Structure 1
Amino acid sequence: MAEIDHIVLGARTLAEGAAFVEQHLGAKPRAGGKHEGFGTHNLLLGLGKGTYLEVVAPDPDQPQPPHGRLFDLDDPAVKVMLEAEPRLLAWVARTPLLDAVVARLGHRAGEVQEMNRGDLHWRMAFPPQRQDMDNLIPALIEWKGEGASSRIPDSHVRLLQLEAEHPDADAVKAALADRGLEETLRVRRSPHARLVARLRRADGQEVTLSSG
């Protein structure tokens, strides 16, 4: 069993990401922390029980990691995109059975990495590049103990729908089904790959964030 854990908004800096979230979602994200050894830090916005939005940016106080920063933040095309404004980059799915999923998927699941932020601990598996279908296939996370969402105040912003667009919609659907996520995303065929999040602000206004 897997389900949406959080959506990821990339930014050049956390200040730019916070300003974008406040402008578009009408809520202020709270401080998260550093991903030591991964070159990033974050802010968090609670989207109700079990779900949140993560604003992630390069951490200027950390050296460049040897493996590249999380969520393709070092990719030249992503850097150019974030020069214009923060952008939805990816999503992460939660599972209590990460080892079983990885064993079943093999190399398609990616390498499991141990991560922490303060006293939060988790394991993640990022799909290998070219198998993530432009970040439409999520990284998988297994929290050790309570997850981040349990500590984030509710912003009263809600994630209404997460959608995927891709030229090969059937391949996206199959990859999601392999992870037990076939009911999680609405997938449609489109000439360009794009992740779309539809949210409702606390004031009732609906907002769309996308990766392109």
Structure 2
Amino acid sequence: MRLMWDMSLLKLDHLAVSCEALDAGATAIEQRLGISLEVQGEHPDMGTHNRLASTGDIYLEVLAINPDAKGPNRPRWFNIDNFSGTPRLTNWILQTDDIEGVLANLPGGFGEPLALQRGDLKWRMAVPKTGILPWDGLGPAIIQWDAGQHPSAILPDCGLRLSRLTIHHPQAVEMAELLGPFMPRDTAQFMPDEDAKLVAIYDGPNGEIRLE
């Protein structure tokens, strides 16, 4: 039997852009958004690396396989093993203070929490064994920060603010019905669409910028 949860149990933590090569991908996103991605980090457990930028309370991550790292003995997160093409927005990540409780109230497929660390940052993220999240990978990843510090608080602010996140998917109604009770109402919009994708609209000094 599933429990009843407060609708603000989950909140948007960050958005992830996948790319084939980090340097080229980060440059493409910097040019597209008119920002600088200031920090580079590595994820030894997943064999990936990233660059980040703060957009206020949340942040933007550009992620790629690290060619210099030893590959993990499991599929990497965000299905990045199978990524190809130009850099694009592939994932949205929701933050909780009770990752076990959230996963107990979601159907299977969201994964089991993995304990991860980079420097002073410690977190747990639910990663499916296949590396592929529900709804063809467009389901949210679930994260819990354990050290009391969030990357957005220590990153330079790039000046953009997320004004709207839209999840396009043929099963968008099902997604909204399942995830809606866990989130504040304005977290994301769910749009039935045969073309499955994520679309983020940012407000910046020069107006709206679309990222997908």
**SS of the residue 2:15 aligns to:** strand
Q: State the match for 2:4 in structure 1.
A: none
Query: 1:115: how far off?
Result: 1.1
Question: In structure 2, what is the Cα distance between the partners aligned to 1:199 and 1:115?
Answer: 29
- TM-score of the superposition, structure 2-length normalised? 0.87
Conservation of the 8 A alpha-carbon contact between 2:74 and 2:129: no
Q: State the match for 1:152 in structure 2.
A: 155
The verdict on how the C-alpha distance between 1:53 and 1:195 changes in structure 2, with shifts beyond 3 A counting, is same
Query: 1:127: how far off?
Result: 5.3
The verdict on how the C-alpha distance between 1:128 and 1:167 changes in structure 2, with shifts beyond 3 A counting, is farther
Question: In structure 1, what is the Cα distance between the partners aligned to 2:185 and 2:134?
Answer: 15
Q: State the match for 1:175 in structure 2.
A: 178
Question: Which of the residues 140, 143, 150 maps onto 2:142?
Answer: 140
**Identity level (%):** 35
Q: State the match for 2:166 in structure 1.
A: 163
Give ranges in structure 1 of 5+ residues lacking alignment. none
Conservation of the 8 A alpha-carbon contact between 1:39 and 1:58: yes
Q: State the match for 2:112 in structure 1.
A: 111
- TM-score of the superposition, structure 1-length normalised? 0.87
Deviations 1:140-167 (A, max 9, x none): 1100121111111111111110001111
Q: What RMSD, in angstroms, separates the aligned Cα atoms of the two structures?
A: 1.9
The verdict on how the C-alpha distance between 1:66 and 1:13 changes in structure 2, with shifts beyond 3 A counting, is same
Question: In structure 2, what is the Cα distance between the partners aligned to 1:179 and 1:192?
Answer: 25
Conservation of the 8 A alpha-carbon contact between 1:37 and 1:62: no
Q: State the match for 1:43 in structure 2.
A: 51
Conservation of the 8 A alpha-carbon contact between 2:39 and 2:53: no
Give structure 1 regions of 4+ aligned residues with deviation exceeding 6 angstroms.
none
Aligned AA for 1:204? N
Question: In structure 2, what is the Cα distance between the partners aligned to 1:14 and 1:131?
Answer: 22
**SS of the residue 1:105 aligns to:** coil
The verdict on how the C-alpha distance between 1:131 and 1:23 changes in structure 2, with shifts beyond 3 A counting, is closer
Conservation of the 8 A alpha-carbon contact between 2:41 and 2:51: yes
Query: 1:74: how far off?
Result: 0.8
Q: State the match for 2:22 in structure 1.
A: 14
Question: 1:183-202, aligned counterparts within 5 Å?
Answer: 183-201=186-204
Are positions 1:59 and 2:66 aligned together?
A: yes
The verdict on how the C-alpha distance between 1:40 and 1:149 changes in structure 2, with shifts beyond 3 A counting, is same
**SS of the residue 1:107 aligns to:** coil
Are positions 1:90 and 2:88 aligned together?
A: no
Conservation of the 8 A alpha-carbon contact between 1:5 and 1:93: yes
Question: Which of the residues 25, 32, 36 maps onto 1:24?
Answer: 32
Conservation of the 8 A alpha-carbon contact between 1:29 and 1:45: yes
Give ranges in structure 2 of 5+ residues lacking alignment. 1-8
Question: In structure 1, what is the Cα distance between the partners aligned to 2:18 and 2:178?
Answer: 24
Query: 1:189: how far off?
Result: 1.1
Number of equivalenced pairs: 202
Aligned AA for 2:170? P
